[in-house]
Amino acid sequence: MPRTLPSIISLISLTITLACGPVIAVAQTSPRETDTVRLVRKCLPTVVSIRTTRKHPSGNGYVFGMGSGSVIHPAGYVLTNSHVIDGAVEGDVLLHDGNAYRYRVVAQSLQEDMALLKIDAGKPLTYMTLGRSDDLMLGEPVVVIGNPNGLANSVSTGIVSGLNRSQSRMIQTSAAINGGNSGGPLINALGHQIGIITSKHLEAENIGFAITIDRAREMFPRMIASEQRYGVQMGITVDVLASTAKVSAVTANSPAAKAGIQVGDVIHQAGGLRVQHGLDYHIALIGAKPGKKLPLELVRGNKRIQIKPTFAPLPLPKPVSAKGTSPGLAFSYYQGQWQRLPDFKSLTPTATGMTPKPTLDLKGRSPEYFGFQFTGLIKAPADGLYTFYAASDDGSRLWIGDKLVVDNDGLHSHHESAGLIRLKAGLYPITIGFFEFSGGESLVVSWKGPKLKKQEILPAAFFFKKKSETNKAASK
């Protein structure tokens, strides 16, 4: 049942369940000690200040920056914005107790403006409880804690003043936000983080924005991408939106499947770390190595199960033969009105042909309500980890073989999404789908890899093989 504002206020007044840490009950000792005061007192230790040093654009000297973040795991993992730390040559995290620690960047997504940092404090840290943003109500109270203009531990209050802003479904809030608040938590009346502060409207007062925590939950596994990043396989998928780390899928013949892990199992501990929700499980995979065991404590029904499956080397796609290839990609052009990528296999194309690279420049195409599918091969120049990017208006997706690597689907303005995949040098089937509803349209496909800076994929990397069995991904 959706929560209502009176029920939230009643819950706070009666039990003071400020879930930035363990649930407690506190007697009100003074009329000045309001629910907001107790909420701030409880959540303050979970919020950090982030200080960065960047080289000055001129090349002379350095520029100092500031931001905020939230501790989301007692082992010292901090969630913040990517733009807070991007380009920094060094930086530290200042805890509420005044102690500062150098951070290292575990992973970041420029496209989602998210980053995960790690500090080694030598002790378990008080952590923020992650909530949900699927049932937010206009007008419900919120608190922002952060480091505006270098003033650590600053607090402002407001309400949820708007929902579903932009393609990322951002939260609009009236709480005061200034430079340095970026990356900090937007907190609801239960003391749960429901958003990540990301920006303010520069030409208006009391209009700030936060990435929804549901968006952060959904994007977290792709940002960490532990199996691709570290070249390992465990084969467990957890529900990142659930209140527990519930197993939602197990890959066939994976270490998890061979160890007997089942859909519906709930993970309580992994690799010696406590696991309360799906993001914690992905944190437990950071630094994994093939041949290393992953001690797990599972709950199945009324039973607690202890197992130690071993990470296997990540099965990699097999490159295909270059025999019979020629430069370019095949394209199919479609007309129709869609709000998400259609099943192109079930549609009849209006036109087909060849193109040197993915492009929307087809003579005679409609100005709106159309789609493209590009199929062929891409040549990975070296062994290693590749990042593929699809920037589009409206939706796009990119597959390598039968693996969906980039998902930038849906109605939105120009937006870039990315995904990781580990490849050996060679040729691989590639499929790129795109659709345009109305308004502006754009599509740019880029990559980054071993000794390869981020760049648009040039025609020299694309090939096509007629009647090739390698193009099964084209049926997506």
Work out the number of other CB atoms within 10 angstroms of the CB of residue 59: 6
User: CA 216, CA 375: separation in Å to the nearest integer?
Assistant: 31
Question: Taking phi first (over 0 means left), then psi (-120 to 50 degrees means alpha), and beta for anything else, what does residue 83 get?
Answer: alpha
Radius of gyration of the chain (CA): 24
- Name the catalytic one among 73, 83, 96, 277: 83
181: exposed, middle or buried (Cβ count in 10 Å: 0-12, 13-18, 19+): buried
451: exposed, middle or buried (Cβ count in 10 Å: 0-12, 13-18, 19+): exposed
Phi, psi of 189 (to 5 degrees): -70, -15
Residues 107, 227 contacting (CB under 8 angstroms): no
DSSP E strands, 401-451: 403-408, 415-423, 426-436, 442-449
Looking at the DSSP assignment, which residues form a beta bridge with residue 325? 465
Query: Virtual CA dihedral for 198, 418, 229, 66, nearest 10 degrees?
Result: -20
| Helices and strands in the chain: count of H runs, count of E runs | 7, 34
182 catalytic per annotation: yes
Looking at residue 342, the DSSP 8-state letter turns out to be -
DSSP assignments along 323-373, one per residue? TTEEESEEEEEEE---SS---GGGS--SEEEEESSS----TT--SSSEEEE
Spell out the alpha helix ranges (H) of 82-210: 82-85
User: CA 272, CA 460: separation in Å to the nearest integer?
Assistant: 47
Phi, psi of 280 (to 5 degrees): -60, -35
User: CA 337, CA 82: separation in Å to the nearest integer?
Assistant: 35
Residues 174, 158 contacting (CB under 8 angstroms): yes
248 catalytic per annotation: no
Residues 78, 279 contacting (CB under 8 angstroms): no
User: CA 74, CA 272: separation in Å to the nearest integer?
Assistant: 12
What are 146's two structure tokens? 């952060």
- Name the catalytic one among 70, 133, 174, 182: 182
Residues 49, 185 contacting (CB under 8 angstroms): no
Q: Which residues contact 122 (CB under 8 A, 6 or more apart)?
A: none
Helix (H) or strand (E) holding 104: strand 104-109
Cis bond leading into 394, ω under 30°?
Answer: yes
- Name the catalytic one among 49, 70, 113, 394: 113
3-state class (DSSP) for residue 200: strand
Q: What are the catalytic residues?
A: 83, 113, 182
